[in-house]
Amino acid sequence: MEIVYVYQKKRKEFGKQTLFSDKLAELTNEILPDPSLAKNFIERVECNVETQSLPDKSEHEVNTESFTFINRGILHLQGGWPKDVDPSDVEHTIRYRKKIEKDEEYIRSVKGMGDIMEHCIKQNNAIDIYEEYFIDETDTLVTEEPIAKSLNVYKDPNPVKRCASYVSWYPEDGTKIAVAYSVLQFQKMPQNMCLDSYIWDVENPNMPDLTLTPTSPLVCLKYNPKDPHILVGGCYNGLVSYWDTRKGSYPVDSSAIEKSHRDPVYNVQWVQSKSGAEFFSVSTDGQALWWDIRKLSEPTENLWLDPEKNGRIVGGTVLDFETTMPTKFMVGSETGSVFMCNKKAKNPSEKITHIYPGHHGPVYALQRNPFFLKNFLTVGDWTAKIWAEDVKSSIMSTKYSNSYLTDGCWSPTRPSVFYTGKMDGTLDAWDFIFKQNEPTLTIQVCLVCNSPIHCVKVQEHGKLLAATARDGSTTILEVSDLLSKIQPNEKIIFSQMLEREAKREKTLESSAREKRIKAAQKRPNSGSLKPVGTDLNELIKASEEDFYKCIEEDQWEREKMLEKEAKLNAALNAN
């Protein structure tokens, strides 16, 4: 049997093409015969000799019978679940797993079966004969300086530059990013402005991989974690739309204007469900709406953000939903508060279960720690704070920055690392195991114009970081191993740190509560009295005097500092 294999190669891979042409012969040099040299030559009988520049090779072929392998899998659902648990219901299975994992017999059973499984695995192990067993191993703690380098910058290709308001990583391998572009300043949108948003290939910053064309500029945009071909976006006019990248640039479906939000949709989150088609959105109109992409004509549920239950609606700015907690979700508001909500509450008034008084201004970022789900991060005003669910006040926070904070997120690979973006165009990396009073690394993302950072998102593997800016640019940064690889015992140390700070805050809260009770007991009727009339006017007058006095003292100190600087400059000039 003759074996033939055809090698194919593109013409451009051969290199520069060699071109031959006909040319007449020309004499370049002429050596005339010298009869005196004839005596040095001996005439020889004519002979033929063949030479080969390459060694001789022999060819030997062996044909073996081909064998086809087939892989088949078995999906085991029914046998391992009790009769009262529906294996197709995600909530039932998660609840049953948590119940079993708390049982003491579960740990013993796993250990017993683990020994048998380990014995079977070791039978198929390969031994590295070059491995050095007794080498003096150093500590695996990474001691290098934290660094971050810029890989690519993706700029808005339109002449009218818009803010890159949101970025979402491709869920499988992080080879693409979806960026939403819009102008968020009220009534600052220029006429005939392009409405497109784009999906970029990480390796190609010159041209978008796909264009998304909505009916209104996109404020937020998010990939479906179950199906990476599907994206959902929130528009400036309050609509929500979803795209299927296999079906082109235009949205497959959009919500009806009369059933949608009345303000821009600032955040969307996918919900854990059997179909993988459900999500919910929040807007500054004070509503959180649940949607199903199979029917976007109207929302499936809605929640009015009325924390005081008195009709005063609060605008929402950001959402957080954890798939392992299908009934819980959190909403950050314009007032700086964070609302803990329960989707399964019987009455709408009971859906907001707890309120955390977070920041002085709007909450721009809200995310649970991927390793410790009871702790979450909030970013707003000039600081970032870490909270525990069962504590009313924050347990840790960063120092107040000179510039306003705009966004933040946890590292998916290191439990103690998070990132914050600021209005001055810088991005801070915080590592709370090593430093709490200042950031571990500060990166100037926008080198030219110091444009404010608007959105910060980390890739699933923790190595790449995407930061969008108000000038329409999106920068991909690669961080060093110190910020992306988990350190020895880091999880245990940070867990102990969170528990210690939570206990401290609980102790302070109980102490303050006892003091308030004692003060109320000493003045039993003073709780219902409020300053009125002349007493209120006197209090206002006293507070105004204190305020102006503080301003005068501050101004006097500044004048003294300026005088000292002037004297010092004069002395230097004289020398």
Secondary structure of 382-430 in HEC code, one letter for each residue: CEEEEEECCCCCCCEECCCCCCCEEEEEECCCCCCEEEEEECCCEEEEE
Gap between the Cα atoms of 302 and 422, Å rounded: 33
Which of 360, 483, 346, 479 has the alpha carbon at shortest distance from 417? 483
Gap between the Cα atoms of 8 and 25, Å rounded: 38
Gap between the Cα atoms of 441 and 447, Å rounded: 16
Which tens digit of pLDDT belongs to each residue from 196-216? 899 988 888 888 888 898 988
Q: Write the CB contacts of 216 (distance below 8 Å, at least 6 apart in sequence).
A: 195, 235, 236, 237, 239
Q: Tokens 């006429």 appear where?
A: 191
Which of 306, 273, 289, 187 has the alpha carbon at shortest distance from 238? 289
CB atoms < 10 A from the CB of 47, how many?
5
Token representation of residue 515: 């003091």
Q: Residue 370 corresponds to which amino acid?
A: P
Gap between the Cα atoms of 235 and 180, Å rounded: 10
Secondary structure of residue 280 in the 3-state scheme = strand
Sheet hosting strand 352-357, strand order edge to edge: 316-321, 328-333, 337-342, 352-357
Please tell me the number of Cα atoms within 13 Å of 472 on its side-chain side. Answer: 15
Q: What is the pLDDT of residue 378?
A: 92
Q: Which CATH architecture has domain 148-507?
A: 7 Propeller (2.130)
CB 144, CB 481: distance < 8 Å: yes
* Residues in the chain with pLDDT values less than 50: 137-139, 526-533
Return the domain boundaries, the chain: 148-507
Q: What is the pLDDT of residue 563?
A: 82
Q: What is the pLDDT of residue 527?
A: 47
Q: What is the pLDDT of residue 327?
A: 82
Q: Where are the beta strands (DSSP E) in 245-327?
A: 253-254, 265-270, 278-283, 287-292, 301-304, 316-321
Q: Is the pTM of this model over 0.85?
A: no
Q: What is the pLDDT of residue 448?
A: 61
DSSP 189: P
Q: What is the share, in percent, of the chain residues with pLDDT greater than 70?
A: 91
- The alpha helices in 17-143, defined as continuous H runs, are 90-101, 104-122
C-alpha 466, offset from chain centre: 7
CB 338, CB 314: distance < 8 Å: no
Secondary structure of residue 207 in the 3-state scheme = coil
Helix (H) or strand (E) segment spanning residue 166: strand 163-169
